[in-house]
Amino acid sequence: MSVRVYIEDTDAGGVVFYANYLRYMERARTEALRQAGIDLVAWQREHRRLFVVRSVRVDYRLPARLDDELTVHAHMIRIKRASLECEQPIYRGAERLVDACVTLACIDADRLTPVRLPGAIVAALTDDRERRA
Amino acid sequence: MSVRVYIEDTDAGGVVFYANYLRYMERARTEALRQAGIDLVAWQREHRRLFVVRSVRVDYRLPARLDDELTVHAHMIRIKRASLECEQPIYRGAERLVDACVTLACIDADRLTPVRLPGAIVAALTDDRERRA
Amino acid sequence: MSVRVYIEDTDAGGVVFYANYLRYMERARTEALRQAGIDLVAWQREHRRLFVVRSVRVDYRLPARLDDELTVHAHMIRIKRASLECEQPIYRGAERLVDACVTLACIDADRLTPVRLPGAIVAALTDDRERRA
Amino acid sequence: MSVRVYIEDTDAGGVVFYANYLRYMERARTEALRQAGIDLVAWQREHRRLFVVRSVRVDYRLPARLDDELTVHAHMIRIKRASLECEQPIYRGAERLVDACVTLACIDADRLTPVRLPGAIVAALTDDRERRA
């Protein structure tokens, strides 16, 4: 997923504010799930299932600047019973600017308690991963 | 209401990003309503009433910078049947940086249609205004 | 310019937070200027000229929701000596959700004082407007 | 440092958007440094020294909601040659909602290369830590 750095994303240091990379990552995850045929809004509305971020590990290697064109990845590298691990490096051309790993959990939208990943989602993600491999 | 400018609020121009003043204004409105005894979260939960912004007029006179200590006002200057007008100038010390006027409407949280301002809210705002006058 | 509503843009009301439409508008203005051949970053770096927002008028007619695909316009409707007026309606399909008008001024990046719009920028915008007409 | 959750911080899930906790942490770090007598803006302006985030580790245990009053910590737990480790748990009352560890590096603001932590900053942080112990 390609992302342009706009002035809203930068801070007074002239570079992208560190929290804003997490916004890019969330966009890329949503698009990756959409491409795998998973519509999060429908899952919430119809099945009361929500994906929430459980943990984030980010290493900032090089700063992105105003007007940069970035590529934000979202690779589902591990699919577990109740959680997903998503690798999300960010590149500017061939340069890797950011390394990140985001763990998502599936919860019940009403009781906010963890639940198993729905079978249909596991199947869609597994198919998608095989198609790309 | 006093607001400190943090790096998250600034952009690559070294000043507060123009949309972020609207975040400050929202905080100041929430606090002004709270001080008038109006709890918006409770109104939404219990009475399904939501306040939404209908219009915004902002004149940016001078930029705020990193680390500035700002004062953000929220004066309910006009209380109408289904809307409120809130004047929200922003100062740095005696300097007026921003002039703003925000119109809020009351809507039904489920049908998202405009409704009359609840009597209790009108009364609380009117009392609050008289107390300050 | 097309914009997708991501979870980062929404608030607890389930709709796009009112300040975030201004972020969309800024992206659309930047792209409109880029398409007219105007590179704001280069203007700042090489000529120390900055465009800043002087005023904003926004009418929120209908809320945008998570996952909506929006179209954000940026029409330079008036080109004056030291300022530009930009009309920025936002649509979801044929529905107009937001009406907005943004006034930009050109300033000296070092002294932060207003200056005349550079001739090259006026020419580029005028050409661009005629090409579209 | 105490932080109120405003509508700007929440997302359509009704909870604080995961990237926004990093904004709270940045505010708490800035205040912690200020209390230790370190003015980051002055360090940038006068000495061309900038603190940048090198890595972030966040575990989201429980969500914060609209109107919550949070306490955001910033404990400098390790002071090294060119970097600082800052522990930043976030609480709502006695409940720990978020665990976080942020590593900061000191860089030259012009060349954007890592440099040693200035002695005055190390001394101020060490004094501050002893005072609190």
Cα–Cα distance between B85 and B79 in angstroms, integer? Answer: 7
pLDDT tens for D53-95 read 999 999 999 999 999 999 999 999 999 988 999 999 999 999 9
Cβ-defined contact of D11 to C10 (cutoff 8 Å): yes
One-letter amino acid identity for A25?
M
**What pLDDT score was predicted for residue B116?**
93
Contact, A98 vs A73, CB < 8 A?
no
Torsion angle of C-alpha atoms C21, C22, C24, C27, degrees rounded to 10:
180
Q: At residue A15, what are phi and psi to the nearest 5 degrees?
A: -120, 170
All residues of chain C having their beta carbon less than 8 Å from the beta carbon of residue D17 are 7-8
Digit-by-digit pLDDT tens for chain C (133 residues) are 999 999 999 998 889 999 999 999 999 999 999 999 998 888 888 888 888 999 999 999 999 999 999 999 999 999 998 899 999 999 999 999 999 999 999 998 888 888 999 888 899 888 888 888 7
Contact, D106 vs D118, CB < 8 A?
yes
Q: Write the CB contacts of B19 (distance below 8 Å, at least 6 apart in sequence).
A: A8, C19, C20, C22, C23, C26
**C-to-D residue pairs, Cβ atoms closer than 8 angstroms:** 30
The residue-averaged pLDDT of B99-109 equals: 94
Cβ-defined contact of C12 to D11 (cutoff 8 Å): yes
Compare all CA atoms of chain A with the CA of B18 and give the residue at the minimum distance.
A8
Cβ-defined contact of D4 to B27 (cutoff 8 Å): yes
Cβ-defined contact of A12 to B17 (cutoff 8 Å): no
pLDDT tens for B56-71 read 999 999 999 999 999 9
Contact, C63 vs C5, CB < 8 A?
no
Alpha carbon distance, N-terminus to C-terminus of chain A: 18
pLDDT, chain B, mean? 92
Candidate from C6, C26, C67 with C-beta closest to A26: C6
**What pLDDT score was predicted for residue C94?**
97
For chain D, domains (ranges, CATH) are: 2-132 (3.10.129.10)
User: Any chain C CB within 8 A of the CB of B53?
Assistant: yes
pLDDT along chain A (133 residues), means of 10: 93 90 96 90 86 96 94 94 95 98 92 88 88 81
Cβ-defined contact of D18 to A22 (cutoff 8 Å): yes
User: Any chain D CB within 8 A of the CB of B26?
Assistant: yes
Candidate from B54, B60, B112 with C-beta closest to C53: B60
CA C50 to chain centroid, in Å, comes to 14
Q: Does the pLDDT at position D24 exceed 90?
A: yes
Question: Burial code of D114-126, b = ≥16 C-beta within 10 A, e = fewer?
Answer: ebebeeebbebbe
Q: Select which of A9, A11, A67, A128 is catalytic.
A: A11
Cα–Cα distance between B12 and B63 in angstroms, integer? Answer: 13
- For chain B positions 54-73, those within 8 Å of chain D (CB to CB) are 66-67
**What pLDDT score was predicted for residue C68?**
95
The structure tokens listed for D7 are: 């509508």
User: Any chain D CB within 8 A of the CB of B23?
Assistant: yes
pLDDT, chain A, mean? 92
Q: Write the CB contacts of D19 (distance below 8 Å, at least 6 apart in sequence).
A: A19, A20, A22, A23, A26, C8
